[in-house]
């Protein structure tokens, strides 16, 4: 997009590009999760499209079209061709749900090393339109004292999650499943709440679950604002914090807008939970009065920001 002005710096749920001479903007995002597709190719294909559209909804954009890059092993092997078929049919189902055309794409087969195939890896790109750029949202918390809400279900499974792989050391399913009807309802609700200027921030819950999403909302706050969160008694804390169930967002809003926000949610039949509030410069998460996490935003940010350079650092 040569000479189209970038509005948001990296870190937002989608890139936002100003359409000069108009109040509108384009929003562009990429998505895909090979682990989900390995454990359930059809659901993984559906989730790739659904999450990309969810990313657009978080910045206030309605999706317009989809492109893709589909990466698989040797299609001459029946199990690989089956994976490909299932992923494509899952993507098609999701596109029909959101009434989106596939405008183009490409397929890369024979991605193997010594006969071992890569995980099935569909990468989906979706472009959307923001009607009023002034209403576009960022993921970072904006104001101390704002209320934090979870839109969508709590989630129950750690299957195919980053937590299960990186912390527990197991790559096991089942992968999350996505209810496309609920997904579309929550995205439409988010877009309407943004249109009515009820929200100060929105961020989708994806890899890493609720805990990572909350941390990112703090990292992308200009003042490194924190969050004080109270988990319900069930499920157990690791499941509540790190499951990757779908159709979920974290939003923040001022207390003055809460009544209108809740009325709109009731009208749209949206499941939601009041999690807590935006606070000073710490992330504090409790369950049944017990502190689960208590960490300064600055400390957590440094761990997050330096993890990749530290991983590749050459030790003398």
Phi, psi of 287, deg, nearest 5 = -145, 125
Q: What CA–CA distances, in Å, run from 109 to 49, 84, 87, 116, 123? A: 21, 10, 14, 13, 14
Average pLDDT for residues 285-301, to the nearest whole number? 96
Average pLDDT for residues 279-290, to the nearest whole number? 95
Query: Which residue, 276, 292, 177, 181, is CA-closest to 240?
Result: 292
The answer to whether the 15-135 and 147-311 domains have the same CATH topology is no
Using pLDDT thresholds of 50, 70 and 90, give the confidence band for residue 314.
confident
Using pLDDT thresholds of 50, 70 and 90, give the confidence band for residue 1.
low
Query: Which residue, 63, 64, 84, 60, is CA-closest to 73?
Result: 84
For 64-120, how does the pLDDT look when each residue is reduced to its tens digit (9 = 90+)?
A: 999 999 999 999 999 999 999 999 999 999 999 999 999 999 999 999 999 999 999
CATH C-level class of 15-135: alpha beta
Average pLDDT for residues 135-157, to the nearest whole number? 96
State how far the Cα of 131 lies from the Cα of 83, in Å rounded to an integer. Answer: 38
pLDDT given at position 4: 66
Lowest mean pLDDT among 5-14, 51-60, 148-157, 277-286: 5-14
State how far the Cα of 314 lies from the Cα of 309, in Å rounded to an integer. Answer: 10
pLDDT given at position 63: 98
Q: What CA–CA distances, in Å, run from 307 to 119, 160, 302, 303, 310? A: 24, 22, 8, 6, 5
- For residue 316, pLDDT beyond 90: no
Using pLDDT thresholds of 50, 70 and 90, give the confidence band for residue 3.
low
Average pLDDT for residues 175-203, to the nearest whole number? 98
pLDDT given at position 119: 98
Indicate the domain borders of the chain.
15-135, 147-311
- For residue 2, pLDDT beyond 80: no
Average pLDDT, the chain: 96
Residue 146 in contact with residue 20, Cβ under 8 Å? no
- For residue 257, pLDDT beyond 60: yes
Tell me the CATH number of domain 147-311, given options 3.40.50.300, 3.40.50.970, 3.20.20.140, 3.90.650.10.
Answer: 3.90.650.10
State how far the Cα of 15 lies from the Cα of 12, in Å rounded to an integer. Answer: 7
Residue 120 in contact with residue 13, Cβ under 8 Å? no
Q: How many residues does the chain have?
A: 316
Q: Residue 51 has which token pair?
A: 């999450």
pLDDT given at position 10: 80
3-state secondary structure the chain: CCCCCECCCCCCCCEEEECCCCCCEEEEEEECCHHHHHHCHHHHHHHHHHHHHHHHHHHCCEEEEEEEEEECCCCCCHHHHHHHHHHHHHHHHHHHHHCCCEEEEEEECCCEECCEECCCEEEEEEEEEECCHHHCCCCCCCCCCCEEEEECCCCCCCCCCHHHHHHHCCCCCCCCCCCHHHHHHHHHHHHHHHHCCCCCEEEECCCCHHHHHHHHHHHCCCCCCEEEEEECCCCCHHHHHHCCCCCCEEEEECHHHHHHHHHHHHHHCCCEEEEEEEECCEEEEEECCEEEEEEEHHHHHHHHHHHHHHHHCCCC
Average pLDDT for residues 224-238, to the nearest whole number? 95
State how far the Cα of 224 lies from the Cα of 295, in Å rounded to an integer. Answer: 12
Query: Which residue, 272, 127, 126, is CA-closest to 186?
Result: 272
């Amino acid at each position: 997009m040569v000479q189209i002005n970038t509005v948001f710096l990296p870190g937002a749920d989608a890139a936002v590009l100003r359409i000069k001479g108009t109040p509108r903007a384009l929003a562009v995002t990429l998505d895909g999760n090979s682990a989900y597709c390995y454990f359930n190719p059809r659901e993984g294909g559906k989730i790739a499209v659904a999450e990309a559209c969810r990313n657009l909804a978080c910045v206030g954009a309605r999706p317009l079209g989809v492109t893709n890059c589909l990466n698989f092993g040797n299609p001459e092997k029946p199990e690989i061709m089956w994976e490909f078929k299932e992923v494509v049919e899952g993507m098609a189902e999701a596109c029909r749900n959101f009434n989106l055309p596939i405008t183009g794409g490409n397929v890369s087969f024979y991605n193997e090393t010594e006969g071992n195939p890569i995980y099935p890896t569909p990468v989906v790109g979706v472009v959307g339109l923001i009607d009023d750029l002034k209403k576009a949202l960022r993921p970072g918390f904006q104001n101390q004292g704002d209320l934090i809400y979870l839109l969508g279900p709590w989630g129950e499974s750690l299957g195919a999650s980053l937590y299960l792989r990186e912390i527990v050391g197991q790559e096991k399913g089942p992968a999350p499943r996505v209810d496309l009807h609920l997904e579309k309802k929550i995205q439409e609700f988010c877009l309407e709440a943004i249109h009515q200027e009820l929200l100060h921030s929105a961020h989708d819950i994806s890899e890493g679950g609720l805990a990572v999403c909350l941390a990112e909302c703090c990292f992308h706050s200009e003042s490194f604002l924190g969050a004080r969160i109270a988990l319900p008694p069930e499920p157990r804390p690791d499941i509540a914090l790190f499951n990757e169930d779908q159709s979920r967002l974290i939003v923040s809003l001022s207390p003055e807008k809460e009544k209108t926000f809740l009325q709109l949610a009731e009208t749209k039949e949206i499941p939601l939970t009041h999690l807590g509030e935006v606070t000073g410069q710490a992330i504090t998460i409790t369950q049944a009065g017990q502190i689960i996490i208590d960490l300064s935003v600055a400390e957590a940010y440094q761990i997050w920001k330096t993890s990749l350079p530290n991983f590749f650092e050459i030790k003398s």
